[in-house]
Chains A and B, each alone.
Chain A
Amino acid sequence: MSADRTTPAVDVAGLTHRFGRRYALDGCSFTVPAGAVTALVGRNGAGKSTLLRTAAGLLRPDTGAVRVFGEPAGDATLPRIGYVGQQAPLYPMLTVAQTLTLGGRLNPRWDAAYAHRLADDAELPYTAPVGTLAAGHRTRLALILALAKRPGVLLLDEPLAPLDPVARAEMSGTLMADVADRGTTVVLSSHVVADIESLCDHVVVLAEGRVRLTAEVERALTGHLIAVGATEDVTELDDIVEVRTAGRDATALIRSTGPLPSAGGLSWHRPTLEELVLGYLRAPRPRPKRKVTTT
Protein backbone atom coordinates (compact mmCIF):
# COMPACT_ATOMS: atom_id res chain seq x y z
CA MET A 1 0.00 0.00 0.00
CA SER A 2 1.35 3.41 -0.90
CA ALA A 3 -0.57 5.32 1.77
CA ASP A 4 0.73 5.02 5.31
CA ARG A 5 -1.38 3.59 8.10
CA THR A 6 -2.30 6.98 9.52
CA THR A 7 -4.19 8.03 6.37
CA PRO A 8 -7.76 6.81 6.79
CA ALA A 9 -8.71 4.17 4.23
CA VAL A 10 -12.02 5.93 3.74
CA ASP A 11 -12.73 9.50 4.78
CA VAL A 12 -16.34 10.62 4.40
CA ALA A 13 -16.71 14.38 4.89
CA GLY A 14 -19.99 16.32 4.91
CA LEU A 15 -21.66 14.06 2.39
CA THR A 16 -25.08 15.25 1.25
CA HIS A 17 -27.09 13.84 -1.62
CA ARG A 18 -30.70 14.25 -2.67
CA PHE A 19 -32.90 12.18 -4.92
CA GLY A 20 -35.54 14.70 -6.00
CA ARG A 21 -36.58 16.40 -2.77
CA ARG A 22 -35.64 13.53 -0.49
CA TYR A 23 -32.32 13.65 1.34
CA ALA A 24 -30.65 10.24 0.94
CA LEU A 25 -27.56 11.53 2.74
CA ASP A 26 -27.63 14.56 4.98
CA GLY A 27 -24.22 15.77 6.13
CA CYS A 28 -22.54 12.39 6.75
CA SER A 29 -19.02 12.40 8.16
CA PHE A 30 -16.88 9.58 9.51
CA THR A 31 -13.54 7.91 8.87
CA VAL A 32 -12.57 4.29 8.44
CA PRO A 33 -9.05 3.37 9.60
CA ALA A 34 -6.93 1.20 7.30
CA GLY A 35 -7.34 -2.49 8.11
CA ALA A 36 -10.63 -2.02 9.96
CA VAL A 37 -13.77 -4.00 9.26
CA THR A 38 -16.66 -1.56 9.59
CA ALA A 39 -20.34 -2.37 9.77
CA LEU A 40 -22.67 0.14 8.17
CA VAL A 41 -25.98 -0.28 9.94
CA GLY A 42 -29.31 1.37 9.27
CA ARG A 43 -32.94 0.69 8.51
CA ASN A 44 -34.14 0.32 4.95
CA GLY A 45 -33.82 3.68 3.19
CA ALA A 46 -31.33 5.05 5.71
CA GLY A 47 -28.79 5.85 2.99
CA LYS A 48 -26.40 2.89 3.28
CA SER A 49 -26.41 1.95 -0.41
CA THR A 50 -26.10 5.58 -1.53
CA LEU A 51 -23.15 6.01 0.81
CA LEU A 52 -21.39 2.89 -0.49
CA ARG A 53 -21.96 3.86 -4.12
CA THR A 54 -20.57 7.33 -3.43
CA ALA A 55 -17.51 5.83 -1.73
CA ALA A 56 -17.05 3.52 -4.71
CA GLY A 57 -16.94 6.59 -6.94
CA LEU A 58 -20.07 5.53 -8.84
CA LEU A 59 -22.20 8.42 -7.65
CA ARG A 60 -21.18 12.06 -7.43
CA PRO A 61 -22.61 13.61 -4.24
CA ASP A 62 -24.38 17.01 -4.27
CA THR A 63 -21.94 18.28 -1.64
CA GLY A 64 -19.16 16.81 0.44
CA ALA A 65 -16.52 14.30 -0.56
CA VAL A 66 -15.20 10.82 0.01
CA ARG A 67 -11.47 10.21 0.00
CA VAL A 68 -10.02 6.74 -0.38
CA PHE A 69 -6.46 6.48 0.94
CA GLY A 70 -6.32 10.25 0.61
CA GLU A 71 -7.52 10.47 -3.00
CA PRO A 72 -10.97 11.75 -4.03
CA ALA A 73 -13.27 8.82 -4.84
CA GLY A 74 -13.65 8.51 -8.60
CA ASP A 75 -11.96 6.98 -11.60
CA ALA A 76 -8.51 7.29 -9.99
CA THR A 77 -9.49 5.25 -6.93
CA LEU A 78 -11.42 2.54 -8.80
CA PRO A 79 -8.51 0.07 -9.09
CA ARG A 80 -8.08 0.08 -5.32
CA ILE A 81 -11.75 -0.50 -4.56
CA GLY A 82 -13.72 -3.72 -4.66
CA TYR A 83 -17.40 -2.84 -4.70
CA VAL A 84 -20.30 -5.28 -4.63
CA GLY A 85 -23.74 -3.71 -4.81
CA GLN A 86 -27.00 -5.44 -4.01
CA GLN A 87 -27.70 -5.97 -7.70
CA ALA A 88 -24.41 -7.62 -8.53
CA PRO A 89 -23.44 -5.84 -11.78
CA LEU A 90 -22.50 -8.81 -13.97
CA TYR A 91 -23.11 -9.57 -17.65
CA PRO A 92 -25.90 -12.19 -17.79
CA MET A 93 -24.83 -13.55 -21.21
CA LEU A 94 -21.26 -14.37 -20.17
CA THR A 95 -20.44 -17.67 -18.53
CA VAL A 96 -18.75 -17.86 -15.15
CA ALA A 97 -15.43 -18.69 -16.86
CA GLN A 98 -15.77 -15.77 -19.31
CA THR A 99 -16.64 -13.44 -16.44
CA LEU A 100 -13.44 -14.41 -14.62
CA THR A 101 -11.42 -13.92 -17.83
CA LEU A 102 -12.97 -10.48 -18.26
CA GLY A 103 -12.06 -9.72 -14.63
CA GLY A 104 -8.46 -10.49 -15.56
CA ARG A 105 -8.53 -8.14 -18.56
CA LEU A 106 -10.10 -5.24 -16.70
CA ASN A 107 -8.07 -5.31 -13.50
CA PRO A 108 -4.31 -4.65 -13.46
CA ARG A 109 -3.71 -6.41 -10.14
CA TRP A 110 -5.96 -9.41 -10.92
CA ASP A 111 -5.03 -12.62 -9.08
CA ALA A 112 -6.26 -15.37 -11.43
CA ALA A 113 -5.13 -18.27 -9.22
CA TYR A 114 -6.99 -16.81 -6.25
CA ALA A 115 -10.12 -16.23 -8.36
CA HIS A 116 -10.13 -19.85 -9.52
CA ARG A 117 -9.49 -21.25 -6.07
CA LEU A 118 -12.45 -19.26 -4.68
CA ALA A 119 -14.67 -20.26 -7.62
CA ASP A 120 -13.70 -23.92 -7.06
CA ASP A 121 -14.45 -23.64 -3.35
CA ALA A 122 -17.85 -22.15 -4.16
CA GLU A 123 -18.48 -24.94 -6.71
CA LEU A 124 -19.57 -22.39 -9.28
CA PRO A 125 -20.53 -23.94 -12.66
CA TYR A 126 -17.87 -22.51 -15.00
CA THR A 127 -19.84 -23.09 -18.21
CA ALA A 128 -23.18 -21.69 -17.01
CA PRO A 129 -24.24 -18.22 -18.19
CA VAL A 130 -24.31 -15.80 -15.27
CA GLY A 131 -27.96 -15.00 -16.02
CA THR A 132 -28.95 -18.57 -15.17
CA LEU A 133 -27.19 -18.66 -11.80
CA ALA A 134 -29.08 -18.71 -8.52
CA ALA A 135 -29.00 -15.37 -6.68
CA GLY A 136 -26.59 -16.73 -4.08
CA HIS A 137 -24.16 -17.97 -6.75
CA ARG A 138 -24.32 -14.63 -8.56
CA THR A 139 -23.48 -12.79 -5.34
CA ARG A 140 -20.66 -15.20 -4.67
CA LEU A 141 -19.24 -14.59 -8.15
CA ALA A 142 -19.45 -10.82 -7.63
CA LEU A 143 -17.59 -11.19 -4.32
CA ILE A 144 -14.93 -13.33 -5.99
CA LEU A 145 -14.44 -10.65 -8.68
CA ALA A 146 -14.07 -8.01 -5.97
CA LEU A 147 -11.58 -10.09 -3.95
CA ALA A 148 -9.42 -11.24 -6.90
CA LYS A 149 -9.02 -7.62 -7.92
CA ARG A 150 -6.84 -7.42 -4.77
CA PRO A 151 -8.26 -4.08 -3.65
CA GLY A 152 -7.20 -2.01 -0.66
CA VAL A 153 -10.83 -1.39 0.29
CA LEU A 154 -13.83 -3.65 -0.08
CA LEU A 155 -17.23 -1.91 -0.12
CA LEU A 156 -19.94 -4.53 0.25
CA ASP A 157 -23.67 -3.83 0.25
CA GLU A 158 -25.36 -6.59 2.26
CA PRO A 159 -22.90 -9.16 0.92
CA LEU A 160 -24.15 -12.12 2.94
CA ALA A 161 -27.90 -11.57 2.62
CA PRO A 162 -28.50 -13.66 -0.55
CA LEU A 163 -26.25 -16.53 0.58
CA ASP A 164 -27.35 -19.85 2.07
CA PRO A 165 -26.00 -20.67 5.55
CA VAL A 166 -23.07 -22.76 4.25
CA ALA A 167 -22.07 -20.14 1.67
CA ARG A 168 -22.44 -17.45 4.31
CA ALA A 169 -20.01 -19.22 6.65
CA GLU A 170 -17.55 -19.91 3.81
CA MET A 171 -17.70 -16.35 2.49
CA SER A 172 -17.22 -14.89 5.99
CA GLY A 173 -14.15 -17.10 6.37
CA THR A 174 -12.74 -16.06 2.99
CA LEU A 175 -13.31 -12.40 3.77
CA MET A 176 -11.70 -12.61 7.20
CA ALA A 177 -8.73 -14.58 5.84
CA ASP A 178 -8.22 -11.80 3.29
CA VAL A 179 -8.27 -9.24 6.11
CA ALA A 180 -5.70 -11.33 8.02
CA ASP A 181 -3.43 -11.87 4.99
CA ARG A 182 -3.48 -8.44 3.38
CA GLY A 183 -4.89 -6.04 5.94
CA THR A 184 -7.77 -5.30 3.58
CA THR A 185 -10.11 -2.57 4.79
CA VAL A 186 -13.76 -3.61 4.66
CA VAL A 187 -16.96 -1.58 4.89
CA LEU A 188 -20.06 -3.73 4.76
CA SER A 189 -23.72 -3.05 5.33
CA SER A 190 -25.79 -5.63 7.15
CA HIS A 191 -29.01 -6.07 9.09
CA VAL A 192 -27.77 -9.13 10.95
CA VAL A 193 -26.27 -8.18 14.29
CA ALA A 194 -24.72 -11.63 14.75
CA ASP A 195 -22.72 -11.14 11.52
CA ILE A 196 -21.59 -7.71 12.65
CA GLU A 197 -20.55 -9.10 16.01
CA SER A 198 -18.24 -11.71 14.52
CA LEU A 199 -16.92 -9.79 11.49
CA CYS A 200 -16.65 -6.13 12.43
CA ASP A 201 -14.48 -4.09 14.77
CA HIS A 202 -16.04 -0.71 13.92
CA VAL A 203 -19.64 0.35 13.53
CA VAL A 204 -21.40 3.28 11.83
CA VAL A 205 -25.13 3.70 12.47
CA LEU A 206 -27.05 5.66 9.82
CA ALA A 207 -30.57 6.99 10.27
CA GLU A 208 -32.42 9.22 7.83
CA GLY A 209 -29.21 9.96 5.97
CA ARG A 210 -27.32 11.05 9.08
CA VAL A 211 -24.58 9.38 11.09
CA ARG A 212 -25.95 8.62 14.55
CA LEU A 213 -22.98 6.72 15.90
CA THR A 214 -19.48 6.00 14.65
CA ALA A 215 -17.13 4.09 16.93
CA GLU A 216 -14.95 1.12 17.57
CA VAL A 217 -17.34 -1.66 18.62
CA GLU A 218 -15.56 -2.41 21.90
CA ARG A 219 -15.47 1.27 22.86
CA ALA A 220 -19.08 1.79 21.89
CA LEU A 221 -20.10 -1.04 24.21
CA THR A 222 -18.07 0.23 27.17
CA GLY A 223 -19.27 3.78 26.45
CA HIS A 224 -22.93 2.98 27.06
CA LEU A 225 -25.15 1.58 29.79
CA ILE A 226 -28.64 0.19 29.96
CA ALA A 227 -30.79 1.31 32.88
CA VAL A 228 -33.98 -0.48 33.85
CA GLY A 229 -36.44 0.73 36.46
CA ALA A 230 -39.48 2.83 37.21
CA THR A 231 -40.33 5.14 34.30
CA GLU A 232 -40.13 8.34 36.36
CA ASP A 233 -36.60 7.48 37.55
CA VAL A 234 -35.32 6.32 34.17
CA THR A 235 -36.56 9.30 32.19
CA GLU A 236 -34.77 11.68 34.58
CA LEU A 237 -31.35 10.32 33.60
CA ASP A 238 -28.87 12.37 31.56
CA ASP A 239 -27.45 11.50 28.14
CA ILE A 240 -30.29 9.23 27.12
CA VAL A 241 -30.06 7.84 23.60
CA GLU A 242 -33.37 6.04 23.64
CA VAL A 243 -36.06 5.12 26.19
CA ARG A 244 -38.74 2.47 25.95
CA THR A 245 -41.52 2.07 28.43
CA ALA A 246 -43.54 -1.02 29.31
CA GLY A 247 -46.24 -0.42 31.89
CA ARG A 248 -44.61 1.44 34.79
CA ASP A 249 -41.11 0.27 33.92
CA ALA A 250 -38.74 1.76 31.41
CA THR A 251 -35.45 0.80 29.78
CA ALA A 252 -32.98 3.40 28.59
CA LEU A 253 -29.78 3.31 26.57
CA ILE A 254 -27.43 5.90 28.02
CA ARG A 255 -24.07 7.34 26.99
CA SER A 256 -21.71 6.82 29.90
CA THR A 257 -18.11 5.77 30.15
CA GLY A 258 -18.24 5.43 33.93
CA PRO A 259 -18.48 2.19 35.92
CA LEU A 260 -21.79 0.45 36.49
CA PRO A 261 -23.72 2.53 39.04
CA SER A 262 -24.77 0.38 41.97
CA ALA A 263 -27.68 2.25 43.50
CA GLY A 264 -30.52 4.60 42.68
CA GLY A 265 -33.31 2.03 42.59
CA LEU A 266 -32.38 1.18 39.00
CA SER A 267 -30.67 -1.89 37.63
CA TRP A 268 -27.78 -1.33 35.26
CA HIS A 269 -25.91 -3.42 32.75
CA ARG A 270 -23.61 -3.03 29.77
CA PRO A 271 -25.50 -3.24 26.49
CA THR A 272 -24.97 -6.09 24.08
CA LEU A 273 -24.16 -4.99 20.52
CA GLU A 274 -27.75 -5.78 19.58
CA GLU A 275 -29.13 -3.53 22.34
CA LEU A 276 -26.75 -0.75 21.34
CA VAL A 277 -27.58 -0.92 17.63
CA LEU A 278 -31.33 -1.19 18.23
CA GLY A 279 -31.19 1.74 20.63
CA TYR A 280 -29.56 3.98 18.04
CA LEU A 281 -31.82 2.76 15.24
CA ARG A 282 -34.93 3.49 17.29
CA ALA A 283 -33.68 6.74 18.79
CA PRO A 284 -35.73 9.78 17.86
CA ARG A 285 -34.12 12.32 15.55
CA PRO A 286 -31.75 14.30 17.77
CA ARG A 287 -32.91 17.79 18.72
CA PRO A 288 -30.48 20.71 18.58
CA LYS A 289 -27.80 20.31 21.26
CA ARG A 290 -28.99 21.00 24.77
CA LYS A 291 -26.07 20.21 27.01
CA VAL A 292 -26.76 18.50 30.30
CA THR A 293 -24.27 17.45 32.94
CA THR A 294 -22.28 14.36 32.15
CA THR A 295 -21.40 11.75 34.68
Chain B
Amino acid sequence: MIFRIDRRTGTAVYVQLMQQVRQAIRMGRLAPGDRLPTAREVAEHAGINPNTVLKAYRELEMAGLVEPRQGSGTYVREHPTVLPDIAGELRRDLAVWAARASAAGLDVRDMQALVAEVMAGTEPTAEETHRVR
Protein backbone atom coordinates (compact mmCIF):
# COMPACT_ATOMS: atom_id res chain seq x y z
CA MET B 1 0.00 0.00 0.00
CA ILE B 2 1.48 3.29 -1.08
CA PHE B 3 -0.10 6.51 0.09
CA ARG B 4 -0.33 9.50 -2.15
CA ILE B 5 -0.52 12.84 -0.38
CA ASP B 6 -1.85 15.81 -2.31
CA ARG B 7 -0.50 18.89 -0.56
CA ARG B 8 -2.66 21.38 -2.44
CA THR B 9 -6.17 20.14 -1.69
CA GLY B 10 -6.44 21.68 1.78
CA THR B 11 -7.79 18.29 2.95
CA ALA B 12 -6.06 17.32 6.19
CA VAL B 13 -3.33 14.75 5.64
CA TYR B 14 -4.84 12.21 8.07
CA VAL B 15 -8.16 12.44 6.25
CA GLN B 16 -6.40 11.70 2.95
CA LEU B 17 -4.76 8.64 4.52
CA MET B 18 -8.12 7.40 5.83
CA GLN B 19 -9.81 7.91 2.47
CA GLN B 20 -7.10 5.93 0.72
CA VAL B 21 -7.33 2.98 3.12
CA ARG B 22 -11.13 2.91 2.76
CA GLN B 23 -10.79 3.08 -1.00
CA ALA B 24 -8.19 0.26 -1.05
CA ILE B 25 -10.45 -1.98 1.06
CA ARG B 26 -13.45 -1.22 -1.10
CA MET B 27 -11.50 -2.00 -4.28
CA GLY B 28 -10.01 -5.15 -2.82
CA ARG B 29 -6.42 -3.91 -2.96
CA LEU B 30 -6.34 -4.41 0.80
CA ALA B 31 -7.82 -7.71 1.94
CA PRO B 32 -8.75 -8.84 5.46
CA GLY B 33 -5.58 -9.80 7.33
CA ASP B 34 -3.34 -7.50 5.29
CA ARG B 35 -0.93 -5.40 7.30
CA LEU B 36 -0.92 -1.63 6.83
CA PRO B 37 2.52 -0.04 6.46
CA THR B 38 3.95 1.12 9.80
CA ALA B 39 3.80 4.79 10.73
CA ARG B 40 7.55 4.88 10.31
CA GLU B 41 7.38 3.46 6.78
CA VAL B 42 4.70 5.94 5.73
CA ALA B 43 6.56 8.81 7.43
CA GLU B 44 9.75 8.05 5.55
CA HIS B 45 8.12 7.24 2.22
CA ALA B 46 5.63 10.10 2.07
CA GLY B 47 7.57 12.62 4.18
CA ILE B 48 4.74 13.09 6.64
CA ASN B 49 4.58 13.32 10.40
CA PRO B 50 4.35 9.81 11.94
CA ASN B 51 1.84 11.11 14.51
CA THR B 52 -0.47 11.97 11.61
CA VAL B 53 -0.29 8.38 10.36
CA LEU B 54 -1.06 7.06 13.85
CA LYS B 55 -4.01 9.43 14.08
CA ALA B 56 -5.42 8.13 10.79
CA TYR B 57 -4.96 4.51 11.94
CA ARG B 58 -6.69 5.24 15.26
CA GLU B 59 -9.68 6.73 13.45
CA LEU B 60 -9.83 3.75 11.08
CA GLU B 61 -9.73 1.46 14.08
CA MET B 62 -12.66 3.31 15.66
CA ALA B 63 -14.54 3.00 12.35
CA GLY B 64 -14.08 -0.78 12.61
CA LEU B 65 -11.88 -1.16 9.53
CA VAL B 66 -8.54 -2.10 11.04
CA GLU B 67 -7.21 -3.52 14.27
CA PRO B 68 -3.84 -3.13 15.96
CA ARG B 69 -2.09 -6.35 16.99
CA GLN B 70 0.28 -6.16 19.92
CA GLY B 71 3.79 -5.48 18.73
CA SER B 72 3.24 -6.44 15.10
CA GLY B 73 1.31 -3.64 13.44
CA THR B 74 -2.11 -2.64 12.17
CA TYR B 75 -4.17 -5.11 10.14
CA VAL B 76 -7.33 -4.98 8.05
CA ARG B 77 -10.13 -6.64 10.00
CA GLU B 78 -11.83 -9.86 8.92
CA HIS B 79 -15.17 -8.23 8.28
CA PRO B 80 -14.40 -4.59 7.76
CA THR B 81 -17.54 -2.53 8.06
CA VAL B 82 -16.85 -0.33 5.08
CA LEU B 83 -20.41 0.90 4.85
CA PRO B 84 -23.19 0.59 7.42
CA ASP B 85 -26.46 -1.24 6.63
CA ILE B 86 -28.30 1.96 5.87
CA ALA B 87 -26.03 2.45 2.85
CA GLY B 88 -28.45 0.80 0.42
CA GLU B 89 -31.26 3.11 1.45
CA LEU B 90 -29.00 6.17 1.24
CA ARG B 91 -27.91 5.09 -2.21
CA ARG B 92 -31.52 4.95 -3.44
CA ASP B 93 -32.21 8.42 -1.98
CA LEU B 94 -29.13 9.71 -3.69
CA ALA B 95 -30.09 8.17 -7.04
CA VAL B 96 -33.37 10.12 -6.96
CA TRP B 97 -31.51 13.30 -6.06
CA ALA B 98 -28.84 12.74 -8.72
CA ALA B 99 -31.53 12.25 -11.36
CA ARG B 100 -33.10 15.60 -10.39
CA ALA B 101 -29.72 17.32 -10.38
CA SER B 102 -28.89 15.82 -13.75
CA ALA B 103 -32.24 16.96 -15.21
CA ALA B 104 -31.44 20.46 -13.92
CA GLY B 105 -28.20 20.43 -15.90
CA LEU B 106 -25.64 19.65 -13.16
CA ASP B 107 -22.76 17.36 -13.98
CA VAL B 108 -20.94 15.03 -11.56
CA ARG B 109 -18.45 17.70 -10.53
CA ASP B 110 -21.25 20.17 -9.73
CA MET B 111 -22.92 17.51 -7.60
CA GLN B 112 -19.68 16.66 -5.79
CA ALA B 113 -19.14 20.34 -5.10
CA LEU B 114 -22.65 20.58 -3.66
CA VAL B 115 -22.10 17.58 -1.39
CA ALA B 116 -18.76 18.97 -0.21
CA GLU B 117 -20.40 22.34 0.46
CA VAL B 118 -23.24 20.81 2.45
CA MET B 119 -20.78 18.74 4.50
CA ALA B 120 -18.73 21.86 5.22
CA GLY B 121 -21.90 23.67 6.23
CA THR B 122 -21.28 26.52 3.85
CA GLU B 123 -23.43 28.31 1.37
CA PRO B 124 -21.99 30.15 -1.61
CA THR B 125 -21.43 33.85 -1.04
CA ALA B 126 -23.57 36.32 -2.93
CA GLU B 127 -20.56 37.10 -5.08
CA GLU B 128 -20.03 33.45 -6.00
CA THR B 129 -23.70 32.98 -6.85
CA HIS B 130 -23.61 35.85 -9.33
CA ARG B 131 -20.26 35.05 -10.81
CA VAL B 132 -20.42 33.32 -14.17
CA ARG B 133 -17.83 30.59 -14.35
Contact = CB atoms under 8 A, between A and B. Distances in A.
B45 A201 contact: no
Interface in A261-295: 262, 267-270, 272-274
Given A260-B121, A267-B122, A172 B7 contact: no
Interface in A181-203: 181, 194-195, 197-201
Interface stretch (B62-70, B93-101, B123-131): B123-131
A100 interface: no
Interface string B41-76: 001111111111000000000000000000000000
A3 interface: no
A179 B42 CA distance: 12
Interface band, chain B:
20 to 34
A274 B126 CA distance: 23
Contacts of A201: 49, 51-52
B56 to A, nearest CB: 12
A194 B126 contact: no
A200 B120 CA distance: 24
B25 interface: no
B125 A249 contact: yes
A253 to B, nearest CB: 15
Given A181-B40, A267-B123, A269-B122, A176 B7 contact: no
Contact of B47 (A35, A172, A272, A273): A172
21 contacts: A173-B43, A175-B47, A176-B49, A177-B44, A179-B43, A180-B40, A194-B7, A195-B7, A198-B13, A198-B47, A199-B48, A200-B49, A218-B12, A221-B12, A249-B125, A249-B126, A267-B122, A267-B125, A269-B120, A269-B122, A272-B10
